[in-house]
Amino acid sequence: MGEPGGAEARGTVSALRPRLAALGRRLAASGGAGSDDTFLTKGSATLDKLKDFHNEGKEHPSTLLQLYTQAVLDITYFEENQLVDEDFPEQSSLQKVKELTCILSEPEVLVRECNVNEEPVNILGAELLECLYWRKGALLYMYCHTAKERSEWLRENIAIFKKCLNDGVHYLMKMLSFRCPLQLNEDVSLQDKDSARLLSEGVFSDTHLLAMMYGGEMCYWGLQHCGEGKQESLETTDPVSNSDLGCRSKTVWLDFRETGKNMLEKYVAACEGPLKGQGWNTAAAKQMLCYLMKPRN
């Protein structure tokens, strides 16, 4: 008999092989190991370690999958920063955003491909999954922030804009769902009531708070620019979900008004409650809430 988990490990190694090659090509295209960018350097080191483990074939599948995820996060971060620095070029950035979103989805796809018989959160851990979903949501937030100012593009591509907003908010909501909020009851020690209240609202870090603000703001843009009409099907025309990158999925449309209100109310409650005086500004969030709370047409 082989060693326990041998087939599982072989499956992981086999599934990783083409992905490591693809990541290596991305790294080379971005400047390679000789780059002075911190994240590229980190990504290169992680990729080298992963290749060594992959060749030895001795490491546990979960270690390989976690290292792969970290390499994806570091290498794509450099590319995201380039997009932001270039102000999301109108002709090419949508395709690039789609591509990066797909690559950031690869770790979860890989876990399922490897037949690990565990949920991705049990293999990768909540923190890495939060990072993946935060990065996808924040990337779409930044893209939409730029795209909404291009009035001509917006007029011609309103369905694509709405899809980007919808997907981005879904990613941020998923990011906020990996850790269960603390249940406040008599069994919980409340040495720090403010911290306990934040944890009960699902705020475990500044990033969780930003995710609420970003998600609420994207819902506000959605209502402002796209209205509340029923969305047409984008299955055959939508370049954001083009199947050639393996990212096609059925779209579940959000109620921008209700989702936005929920996210912004949580953000304001945290900033004006436990985090009062900590430098978090709620003026813009309250302004958007006023808009979202107007009666439906």
Residues 163/238, Cβ–Cβ less than 8 Å: yes
139 and 109 part of one domain: no
| Containing structural domain, residue 59 | 1-124
Domain boundary among 59, 89, 124: 124
Residues 260/215, Cβ–Cβ less than 8 Å: yes
157 and 245 part of one domain: yes
287 and 169 part of one domain: yes
What is the number of residues in the chain?
297
58 and 159 part of one domain: no
Predicted pLDDT at 179:
78
294 and 189 part of one domain: yes
For a pLDDT cut of 70, what percent of the chain falls above it? 79
61 and 191 part of one domain: no
Domain boundary among 70, 96, 124: 124
Q: Each residue of 118-130: pLDDT tens digit? A: 888 889 999 999 9
Q: Which residue has the higher pLDDT, 31 or 6?
A: 31
187 and 102 part of one domain: no
214 and 71 part of one domain: no
CA angle (125 as vertex; 33, 218 as ends), nearest 5: 85
Q: Tokens 């994240």 sit at which residue?
A: 39
190 and 52 part of one domain: no
* DSSP structure string for 3-16: PTTHHHHHHHHHHH
Closest CA to 125 of 69, 209, 174: 69
**What six digits make up the tokens of 31?**
């400047």
Predicted pLDDT at 153:
96
What lies within 8 Å, CB to CB, of 185 at 6+ separation is: none
41 and 63 part of one domain: yes
H-helix or E-strand spanning residue 158:
helix 158-175
Q: Each residue of 169-201: pLDDT tens digit? A: 999 999 998 876 655 555 555 456 666 666 666
154 and 102 part of one domain: no
82 and 10 part of one domain: yes
Q: Each residue of 242-281: pLDDT tens digit? A: 433 346 567 889 999 999 999 999 999 989 888 888 888 9
Sign of the torsion angle spanned by Cα atoms 20, 78, 159, 232: positive
Domain boundary among 96, 124, 152: 124
What lies within 8 Å, CB to CB, of 48 at 6+ separation is: none
Q: How many structural domains does the chain have?
A: 2
H-helix or E-strand spanning residue 27:
helix 6-29
The CA distance from 96 to 98, in Å, is 5
